[in-house]
Every structure is written in structure tokens, then in C-alpha cells.
Chain A
Amino acid sequence: MGEVSRFWREAVHRYRLVGHRCGNCERTYFPPRDVCPVCHRDSVGKMKEFELSGKGTIESFTVIHEVPSPFVRQRPYILAIVKLDEGPSLTAQIVDVDPGEVEIGKRVSAVFRKIAQQGSSGIIQYGYKFVLD
């Protein structure tokens, strides 16, 4: 059941791309950070929740052919590093596209998708993936 509580704790970040913005230097972090790694103690108590737009650019990507068994239905799938317009980069799947259409530099938008599920009776985990604009 550890997975259930972990996903529940992170749901707001995974569902809505809620990160943190430092009230001192205005840098944005995703996933959220309690302390700004640039401002250190000056940021304490100033880290505010910030919802990212979900718009970004593909910085790098890879096509996964040797997939874990829960991903066989999606083989091959594309995993990319997406640089969000607000600054942070994150790793996410690019979906609804053939691997040949994905290129570094292409614009993407976040979508809400099923990430995983714990068998046919377990919890369904949702979160962000990206589609090409």
C-alpha cells in the first residue's frame, strides 16, 4: 500500500504540475523544493506553490524498446526531457505520436493521462504526459 500513499502525496504535483517559486529570486522549481538551492536560507518561508503552464520544448528524448511489462501495450514509447517555459525541466512520456515525428526543439503541451495501475484491482495513478503542439 506504500505506492498508494506516495502517489496520493504527490497527486497535486503530478495532476496539475504544481511546483514552487522562490519568493526571493523568482526561480521556479519542479518538483517542489522546500528551500531554494540558490537563495538557501533567504528563501526559507518564501517558497510558494506555483502552477506551471504545461507548455514547453523537447530538450532531449529517447525511444524505449525494452519496456517494463506494464508498458508493453505502449511499446515503443518515448521518454523526453521537457524544458517548461517557466524554467524547470522534467522527464515525461510523449504520447499520441510515432517516434519518427519527435525532434529536439519541438513544442509540447502537457496532457492528463493514466501513468500506471496496480493490477486490475489496485489504484490507478494519473499524471502528466506531453503531446506535440
Chain B
Amino acid sequence: MTGALMSGIVSYGSYIPRFRIKPEEIARVWGEDADSIKNGIYILSKSVPAPDEDVATISVEAARNAIKRKKLDPRLIGALYIGSESHPYAVKPTSTIVSSAVGMDFSLFAADYEFACKAGTAGMQNVKAMVDSNLIKYGMAIGADTSQGAPGDVLEYSASAGGTAMVIGKEDVIAEINHTLSVTSDTPDFWRREGEPYPRHGERFTGEPAYFRHTLSASKLMLENRGTTPADYDYAVFHQPNGKFPTRAAKTLGFQESQYKDGLLTPFIGNTYSGSMMTGLSAILDIAKPGDRIFAVSFGSGAGSDAFDITVTDKIDEFDRHGAPTIKEQLSKVRWLDYALYSKFKKKLIVGDGIE
């Protein structure tokens, strides 16, 4: 399972909109206690898309950042899968817009995926399989969302926007994917019906039967499969619906704070849904050294988890990580919104005719 031919990540890029809102501001409007919200879900701010941003624009920026870092000819990318639960169209694939905007070839495998928050990592598994079977040279998987939370609902504190693109290939791999596996079950923890603007959550299903069962099961299966323990990894990153869940999952499995702190972004940007775990992984790749081993597990409501065992290679030293903005750089460029501007940006206001 070692050697130059193992497939893995050859480039990566992320994009987080620069607008932010704080839980204090949301709590002020809805008469809730900001401190108890902050302590309860450990979110200090969340990203908000600009009025002219959606999953297509976020995906394009993430994809361009991945292409810039490797100076990759986009025509060599043979497959593009975009995972999101907020694709701009119900019918008209985001992947068609993104492939055109980054200049991919007409000869291209492409589709949009939806599996709540794990559609992007499902795309990673898909393009890895296509690379392994020599169907394509490079494949790109994107996880991106401009997620929805109903006004006054607890999800409004976390539902944010952002995305990450991973390019998978076999040559000049910066992080080998040693193994990947998934778990899936029919669990009604969270859903949004066709045409509905906001999702609903199945209250008691949210924690134990959904997030923890799937995340922990996939994690344990991966440790078992690889014959490893948490101590064998330098970094661990999990899906981050809030700041608390991934921390508890990590601790339950036996990971230390030093292993999971660098990939934990939700306290600063909120839950980017399909972009969540992948953006955490992106933050780790920004700082990882050759030989570092990464444990990465996503979760999607409905429900399922995708687990990845990753080893950073020597190639990361030659790779131009600063060829595109790092997560740290993107976290430093922030513009704060109050609830009124946030409502306008997120189209939560009822407007008259002629205003989109």
C-alpha cells in the first residue's frame, strides 16, 4: 500500500466569504441568552455569503485556489463532483457552471451530489476510485454550502457558508489517502423537503443516534481496519455542526486537543455543511509536515459518515501552499454584519415587487 502510485490529494483550495455575524447579535434579536448559546454550541461567529454569492461562486473560488496552488492545467481534470445541499438550481448542475468557469475540458465526468453535510467527501471517494481505476488522471471534489437556518431556530447560530475543493490524483501527491470507508443508515435527524426554504431537525435524533453513532462508528471501523490508535495520528478532523460535537467525538475516541484544534473551524466560521470537514482538512494541510498522519471523518444527516486515513508526503514541501489564501489568511479578513444587514443578505426579509 505504499509507493509512488498511491492516490491522494494533489492540491486543495478553500473559500470562506468574508462577512461574519456573532451569536450575540442573533440572540439579541430573538431574546435568547448569548452566553448560554455560545457555551452550548461553542460558536463565536459564523460566515455569511454576500448577496451575490452562492454555491456556484463559492465552488469556483475554492476550485481556482486549488488550481493556483498546483499551477494545474484545468483541462487535465477528468471529473468534477460538487456536494452541497444548497445548489443554486433544483435542476441545472452546479458542476456545469464551475467546470466552465475554471476552464475544464468538454470531455469531463461531472455531477452534483447531495448527502447533507457529507456530499463533498462522497465526491472525494468517487474521484479517488476513478483515479485508482485509471479512468481519469485528476479528479476534483468540492464540498460547498450556503446553508439555511430558519430565523429564530437554533440552526441560525451555526448555518454558514464556505467550501473546499480537493484535487485527487496519483502524481506529486501531497497527502496520500491510505484508506477510506463509509457507514450509512436511514436516520431522520435532519431534512429539507423539495421547495422548502428551511430544513427541519428531528430533535432527539440529532446527537447520539445520528452524529455520534455514525461519526464514532466510521472512526472505529477505520482504526480497526488500519490497526491504529488515536495516538498514531498527528491531526484529527471531524464534521463540525457546532464546536461541541466534534470535540466530544474526538475525546470519546481518545484524541487530544493538540490533535483536533487546528482543524476545528466552526467556532469562527460556523457550520459550512458540505464544506465543513473538508475545510478543516484544508486548514490542516496549510500547516502539515511530511510524514504527518491525519484522521478525517465527515458526517451527513440522513445519515452517514465517510472516514479517511491520510499521510502527508515529502511533496508538501515543494508544494506552493501560499499560491492561494490559507485558511488562517481567510479568517483574518472579516467584515462584521448586524442582524438587519444579515437579514438583507440572506433574503430573510419580505420585499416588494421588483426587488430580488
Contact = CB atoms under 8 A, between A and B. Distances in A.
A114 interface: yes
A2 to B, nearest CB: 19
Nearest to A119: B356
Interface of B: 18-19, 50-54, 56-57, 60-61, 64, 88-89, 97, 100-103, 335, 344-345, 347, 351, 354-356
Interface stretch (A20-28, A55-63, A69-77): A69-77
Interface in A118-133: 119-120, 124, 126, 129
Contacts of B89: 124
B101 A126 contact: yes
22 contacts: A11-B100, A12-B100, A16-B100, A16-B101, A16-B102, A51-B103, A69-B354, A72-B351, A72-B354, A72-B355, A73-B51, A73-B347, A74-B51, A96-B19, A96-B50, A112-B57, A112-B60, A112-B101, A114-B53, A117-B356, A124-B89, A126-B101
Contacts of A35: none
Contact of B355 (A70, A111, A114, A117): A70
Contacts of B61: 111-112
A16 B98 CA distance: 11
Nearest to A69: B354
Interface in A67-96: 69-70, 72-74, 95-96
A100 to B, nearest CB: 13
A50 interface: no
Nearest to B74: A16
Contacts of A12: 100
Contact of B335 (A16, A96, A126): A96
A130 to B, nearest CB: 12
Interface of A: 11-12, 15-16, 51, 69-70, 72-74, 95-96, 111-115, 117, 119-120, 124, 126, 129
Nearest to B353: A69
Nearest to B351: A72
Contacts of B347: 73
Contacts of A119: 356
Given A70-B355, A73-B356, A15 B57 contact: no
Nearest to B63: A112
Nearest to B335: A96
A129 B61 CA distance: 12
B313 to A, nearest CB: 30
A120 B100 CA distance: 23
A124 B54 CA distance: 11
A75 to B, nearest CB: 10
Q: Which of B18, B51, B335, B354 has the most CB of A within 10 A?
A: B51
Given A15-B101, A69-B355, A72-B355, A124 B335 contact: no
Contact of A129 (B52, B54, B56): B52
Contacts of A16: 100-103
Given A72-B355, A124-B88, A114 B344 contact: no
Contact of B52 (A72, A113, A120): A113
Given A16-B101, A51-B103, A96 B18 contact: yes
A95 B51 CA distance: 10
A72 B351 CA distance: 10
B57 A126 contact: yes
Nearest to A113: B52
Contacts of B354: 69-70, 72
Nearest to A71: B356
A70 B52 contact: no
Given A70-B356, A73-B344, A113-B57, A95 B103 contact: no
Contacts of A96: 18-19, 50, 335
